[in-house]
Amino acid sequence: MREVELYFGPQHLGMVGNFSITLKVEGDRILEATSNPGYLHRGFEKLMEYRTWIQNFPLVCRINVVEPDHMEMVYAMAVEKLANIEVPERAHWIRSIYLELARVGSHLFGLWAYSNMLGFDTVAQWAMYHRDLILDLFEELTGGRVYHIYIWPGGVRRDFPDGFANKIVKTLHSIGKCVPDYDDTFFNNPLFYERAHDIGKITQEEAKEWGGVGQVLRATGVPYDIRKVEPYAAYNKVDFKIPTREEGDAYSRIWVIRDELIESVHLIFKLLDNLPEGEVYNRVPNPFKWRVPKGEAYVRVESSRGELGLYMVSNGEDKPYRVHFRTPSYPHGLTILEKVLKGASIADVGNAMISLYVVAPEIDR
């Protein structure tokens, strides 16, 4: 049979985001897949070298459109580590609640993308609606729906407004009430199993070898989570579980996402119950004259997609010398995706890619 080169994306119905894959196919079997990122490359890391430490926040949160909050967190953590800034206890707890809310919103968005791709339009609409409720919470807290710039070096920008904790609980309860509906329509639906099992399957050894993190690794049975490995914010003060599965295919990855979603909601309740009183912000020097001491730092957090790291170098100036983000989609979209698509069918490309939870802006930066 004749070999044909096929361009999959960036304008494609089965594709979410600005990303394309070049496929070499024979019939509908894929012989070779090549990821083509770069459609959203804005050179943020270079631009950050021209802006002061605080001015970089609006760039940082735009690196990942779906969950800008973990990006803020990792940047703030790096600056705090370099400049040796303490964060008040209450700010740690608020950060954790805020980041878990972001995780819930991001997973709902991911669920939208995945169910939409499979043709479960009803579930997709529910997920999008429920994510919107989370965005309403963010709007009340920070003034922005998508980009919040809430976490700053030294703490968070403002305390929770009056009655905000109750609103979080109420919103999460109204989403939680729909979990049986989600389960009946989607997760326990045989159609979902038929479409997703054995798609993009990798073993535990392969996942480790290819740099997998997050759900990709947890779906192969490794409970690797930065919140446990190197705790930050208030994660070492509350107890929570890391959901895992054994199979390592698209089906188990989506199930891990579902379980994590529920675990995150429980975690928010636990954090809200024990939220300490106090200040939420330690003053930092005047941002226009702020010179961060010389040094380098590598910090990491668990974003909703996996290990998100930031390597930052300061040479004692008012701007960073080098900023490099290690985003979880990078190994997933560029290494693992290419490997799992070899031998797959054209119909499964979108399925494999979205189940690997690849977000293109995160790769391009």
231 is a contact residue toward other proteins (CB under 8 A): yes
Nearer to other proteins, 74 or 175 (CB): 74
Q: Which of 26, 28, 183, 209 binds other proteins (CB under 8 A)?
A: 209
Quick one: which of 113, 117, 149 has its CA closest to 131? 113
- Residue 326's H or E segment, with its range, is strand 322-326
How many other C-beta atoms are found inside a 10 Å radius of the C-beta of residue 194? 9
Minimum CB separation of residue 16 from other proteins in Å reads: 19
What lies within 8 Å, CB to CB, of 89 at 6+ separation is 276, 278
38 is a contact residue toward other proteins (CB under 8 A): yes
Nearer to other proteins, 72 or 364 (CB): 364
Q: Which of 24, 157, 208, 291 binds other proteins (CB under 8 A)?
A: 208
Nearer to other proteins, 291 or 326 (CB): 326
4 is a contact residue toward other proteins (CB under 8 A): no
Strand partners, 151: 156
- Please classify residue 316 by burial: count the beta carbons closer than 10 Å to its beta carbon, then call 0-12 exposed, 13-18 middle and 19+ buried: exposed
238 is a contact residue toward other proteins (CB under 8 A): no
Q: Which of 65, 222, 238, 272 binds other proteins (CB under 8 A)?
A: 222
Nearer to other proteins, 12 or 322 (CB): 322
Which whole-number Å values give the CA distances from 103 to 242, 276, 362, 365, in the listed order? 14, 22, 16, 20
Quick one: which of 338, 352, 341 has its CA closest to 196? 352
7 is a contact residue toward other proteins (CB under 8 A): no
Q: Which of 45, 159, 247, 279 binds other proteins (CB under 8 A)?
A: 45
5 is a contact residue toward other proteins (CB under 8 A): no
Quick one: which of 41, 85, 46, 51 has its CA closest to 297? 85
24 is a contact residue toward other proteins (CB under 8 A): no
**Contacts with other proteins in 302-361 (CB under 8 A)?**
307, 309, 311, 313, 321-322, 324, 326, 330-331, 334-335
Nearer to other proteins, 159 or 296 (CB): 296
Task: Say if CB 137 and CB 168 are below 8 A apart.
Answer: yes
Amino acid (1-letter code) at residue 111: L
Nearer to other proteins, 178 or 242 (CB): 242
Nearer to other proteins, 89 or 338 (CB): 338
Which whole-number Å values give the CA distances from 7 to 32, 247, 365, in the listed order? 12, 30, 23
Task: Say if CB 134 and CB 172 are below 8 A apart.
Answer: no
Nearer to other proteins, 201 or 227 (CB): 227
What lies within 8 Å, CB to CB, of 92 at 6+ separation is 233, 234
224 is a contact residue toward other proteins (CB under 8 A): yes
**Contacts with other proteins in 271-300 (CB under 8 A)?**
298, 300
Residue 115, both tokens: 């169910």
Minimum CB separation of residue 182 from other proteins in Å reads: 29
Quick one: which of 329, 356, 331 has its CA closest to 117? 356
Nearer to other proteins, 76 or 217 (CB): 217
Positions touching other proteins (CB under 8 A) are 37-38, 41, 43, 45-47, 50, 208-211, 217, 222-224, 228-231, 236, 298, 300, 307, 309, 311, 313, 321-322, 324, 326, 330-331, 334-335, 364
